[in-house]
Amino acid sequence: MPEANLVLNNVSQVLTMAGDGLGIVEHGAVRVRDGRIHEVAKGNLEPRPGETEIDCCGRVVLPGFVDPHTHLVFGGWRQNEFEMRLAGRTYKEIAEAGGGILSTVIHTRLATEDELYNRALERLHEMVSWGTTTVEVKSGYGLDTGTELRMLRVARRLGELGFCRVVPTFLGAHSVPKKWDKSVYIKLVVEEMLPAVAEQGIALFCDVFCENFVFNAAESTAILEAGKQHGLIPTVHADEIESSGGAELAAKVGAASASHLLQPSDAGLAAMAQAGVVAVLLPGTCFFLREAHRSPVAKMREAGIVTAVATDFNPGSCPMLAQPIAAQFGCIHYGMTIEEALRGITVNAARALRLDSRVGTLEPGKAADIVITDVPDYRHIIYRLGHNPVFMTIRDGRVVHRQV
């Protein structure tokens, strides 16, 4: 493909994310060969035969964004619950009254595979227009074997389109379906869903919504251990609504990441640091739900935990597709530094998905997943609240979105 050989010249700052910081090359250039980063240099590079030169007009270039936690595939929306929350009801109250996840389950079960696919595709295009080049996509709105597999097939089809990498996660344990006994449902997840998911090779990760009022730490452990038996890497929704031992359990099962973490215990944070579990922070959700607690980023920093940032895009707790805005919330709402937030949506997010050997930095040999921005200084990506800084999104050296 001709676009896979590129030279990006006239860049004000190349953020390579190599090493511990932003790896900034001022007045730099990037050469892409066969869809991979070939070199990052100071000054402009001479285009060679067969290479397309892009003039970046003195703007910032950085790795394509990695969104390590989303619920992209679902039927219906939940604007009614949003209105109820504005009137004072809480997420937990609405969920316990049969709204929340279970209302999306009804609409998802009713949707055909193509309907789910078409709606998710529109949303994926919007994500890519905000610079996302890799996205994790969870199931979890089926809660029956057929619908869970249908959601994962949709994720696979979206990935096959080739304009955004899709990492599928099985989240059968997102909620207990209506009228089901919890232990019977866990048996279905472990004995029927997980084997079917594994047999079809249709997910890489296994996730659980670990909360005392959903799947408690012991139940979550059992499900994640069963997932491991089937070759699925554990990850967990942990300590969001209540402190539920989620951080401890993430460390115990060797999870790649733990998400939310609004109220992790100190012991849980220490265990995560020790086990190398990446904390996936979801500040957009915390803001959107007006949650009382915020992730303790200062403690995480002190403990030496690697922190990533995700949108958590879903119809209930965060209908936001934009990774740059998630990063803005990371700074403004959680107190991350600009450097932490930008590493959080690139290299550290890649690490949360165990893809850091392939994406997340602009280093020779890595996939040429690149965002060319329209801003002259990297700090604008956070500072210009609500601004879409993406001029061009490039995946494997191919232009997949361009600002119009």
Nearer to ligand NIG, 258 or 400 (CB): 258
Q: Provide the 10 A C-beta neighbour count for residue 157.
A: 16
Residue with tokens 């050296």: 397
Neighbouring-strand partners of residue 42: 28
Give the shortest CB-209-to-ligand NIG separation in angstroms: 5
Q: Which does 104 bind (CB under 5 to 8 A by kind): Fe ion, ligand NIG, none?
A: ligand NIG
Nearer to ligand NIG, 136 or 312 (CB): 312
Give the contact letters, 268-307, x = binds to Fe ion (CB under 5 A), - = no. ----------------------------------------
Give the shortest CB-69-to-Fe ion separation in angstroms: 6
Distance from C-alpha of 98 to C-alpha of 290, rounded to nearest angstrom: 21
Interface residues toward ligand NIG, by CB under 6 A: 71, 100-101, 104, 209, 237, 240, 285, 312, 314-317
Give the shortest CB-273-to-ligand NIG separation in angstroms: 23
Closest by Cα among 290, 245, 288, 284 to 263: 245
In order of 259, 282, 325, 331, the CA distances from 287 in angstroms are 15, 9, 11, 12
Give the shortest CB-20-to-ligand NIG separation in angstroms: 29
H or E element at residue 170: strand 165-173
Closest by Cα among 141, 138, 137 to 100: 141
Nearer to Fe ion, 268 or 316 (CB): 316
Nearer to Fe ion, 12 or 285 (CB): 285
In Å, how far from its chain's centre is CA 317? 14
Give the shortest CB-348-to-Fe ion separation in angstroms: 18
End-to-end CA distance of the chain: 23
Q: Which does 51 bind (CB under 5 to 8 A by kind): ligand NIG, Fe ion, none?
A: none
Number of residues that bind Fe ion (CB under 5 A): 1
Phi, psi dihedral angles at 18 (to 5 degrees): -75, 145
CB closest to ligand NIG, residue no: 316
At residue 134, the 3 state secondary structure works out as strand
Q: Which does 64 bind (CB under 5 to 8 A by kind): ligand NIG, Fe ion, none?
A: none
Give the shortest CB-134-to-ligand NIG separation in angstroms: 18
Closest by Cα among 221, 302, 236 to 269: 302
CB closest to Fe ion, residue no: 312
Give the shortest CB-313-to-ligand NIG separation in angstroms: 9
**8-state DSSP, 193:** I
* Cβ(60)–Cβ(128) below 8 Å: no
Give the contact letters, 307-326, x = binds to Fe ion (CB under 5 A), - = no. -----x--------------
Applying CB under 5 A, the residues found at the interface with Fe ion are 312
